[in-house]
Homo-oligomer: A and B are copies of this chain.
Amino acid sequence: MSYCYCILLRKASRRVTSLYDEALAPVGVNLAQFSLLRNIQRAEPISLTDLGQRTELDRSTVSRNVKVLEKMELVAMANGQDQRESAVELSDKGRQVLRDGAPLWDGVQTAIEAKLGDEASAQLTALLQAL
């Protein structure tokens, strides 16, 4: 009787998310928001649809998550190529959060690697990508 891979994944996901959330709390965002900001930064200005593909999230999910970031004034919506397309851009405040959050994010990242060891960390990365 093997453990359910899905449940193991979901539990680990919740636990680890909690670690990153706590670490990032000082800059006022959670892991999901920090990651979304990073994805925006890598391709700004970016449409919501493109952002959804990059993050592997449903477009409507991205739409709502971006709206929260907008309310926090970390990003701003601009006009895209089309009238229908809207382009997300970081605000100065958003860039600051990314700068301030980077070492916090790195701390958790390093802590996980220290806990698992280098080899196991690499294995984990490979396995998660293979799923």
Listed in ascending order, the chain A residues whose CB lies under 8 Å from chain B are 2-17, 19-20, 31-32, 35, 56, 105, 108-109, 112-113, 115-116, 120-121, 123-125, 127-131
Contacts and interface: CB of A to CB of B under 8 A. Distances in A.
Given A5-B112, A127-B120, A17 B12 contact: no
A18 to B, nearest CB: 10
Copies in the complex: 2
Contacts of A115: 130
A6 B17 contact: yes
Contacts of A11: 56, 128
A128 B9 contact: yes
B127 A123 contact: yes
